[in-house]
Amino acid sequence: MTWDEVFELLAVGFQETAWMVGVSALLTAVGGLLVGVLLVLTDSGGLLAARPVNAVLGLIVNVGRSLPFIILLVAIIPFTRAVVGTTIGTDAAIVPLTVGAIPFFARIVEAALREVPADVVAASVAMGATRRQIVGKVLLREALPALIAGLTITVIAIIGYSAMAGTVGGGGLGDLAIRYGYQRFETEVMIATVVALVVFVQLVQMVGDVLVRRLSHR
């Protein structure tokens, strides 16, 4: 295989990975934020304290966290089919990627929100702030640097997961590395893929770090 051919493959693989990771990261950010905020609010002593809701939510998150991604991928095939109508391809991979990453990010969100000092929240309550104001202007805003740092970690984890999505025909860089690099002994493809993944992860981390530095005033 010539290097031109390798680059062509790589370009396609990179596009597929970027699409899978981009869409899943977006959905995960929204879903994880929602679940994380609910975990904090419903905890005993929280602003919407509700033990049973908190316990059930925590259990669901833990189940999601305890399944190895490769198993989750297969286990939710019926769900994936119901959502996107197929179980093969990049779009199909987005479903398990999102389902797998939401619990992961939700716990990160929960930890980040708990880092907001209790007296800052109490001060807002004492001022007569509404729950919506406290969540939006205090909890999320104060935790924003930690949330961005957490999202960076999550996106990089999703890039890792996305390589496994290749095994169900998900496409992307990981798929490329396995089909060409491993199964067909195309060392050039393997090396190129590894380099591409390293660069991709590096870029994501850099963007995350810059954002965190800009936003943090602690």
Partner 1 sequence: MIEIRGLRKTYRSRKQSVNAVDNVDLTVGEGEVYGVLGQSGAGKSTLLRCVNMLERPDTGTVAVDGVELTALGGKRLRIARHGIGMIHQHFALLSSRTVAGNVAFALEVTGAPRAERRARVAELLELVGLSGRADAYPSQLSGGQKQRVGIARALAARPKVLLSDEATSALDPETTDSILRLLLDLNRRLGLTILLITHEMTVVKRICTSAAVMRDGKFVESGRVADLLRRDSELARDLFPLDGPSSVDGSAVLDVTVSGDDADKPLLAEVARRFDTDVRILAGHVETLAATRAGRWRIAVPTAASEDAADFLRKSGAQVGVAS
Q: How many residues bind partner 1 (CB under 8 A)?
A: 21
d(CA 123, CA 91): 46
Q: Which of residues 64-123 bind partner 1 (CB under 8 A)?
A: 117, 119-120, 122-123
Q: Give the nearest distance from C-beta 205 to partner 1 in angstroms.
A: 23
Subset of 115-144 contacting partner 1 (CB under 8 A): 117, 119-120, 122-130, 133, 137-138, 141-142, 144
Nearer to partner 1, 13 or 208 (CB): 208
Sites for partner 1 among residues 179-208 (CB under 8 A): none
Nearer to partner 1, 21 or 138 (CB): 138
Round to whole Å and give the CA distance between 200 and 98: 19
Q: Is 49 in the site for partner 1 (CB under 8 A)?
A: no
For residue 215, give both structure tokens: 């936003």
As a whole number of angstroms, the distance between CA 187 and CA 77 comes to: 32
**Two structure tokens written together for 216:** 């943090």
Separation of alpha carbons 186 and 205, rounded Å: 29
> Dihedral of CA 14/29/103/206: which sign?
positive
Give residues in contact with partner 1 (CB under 8 A). 117, 119-120, 122-130, 133, 137-138, 141-142, 144, 215, 217-218
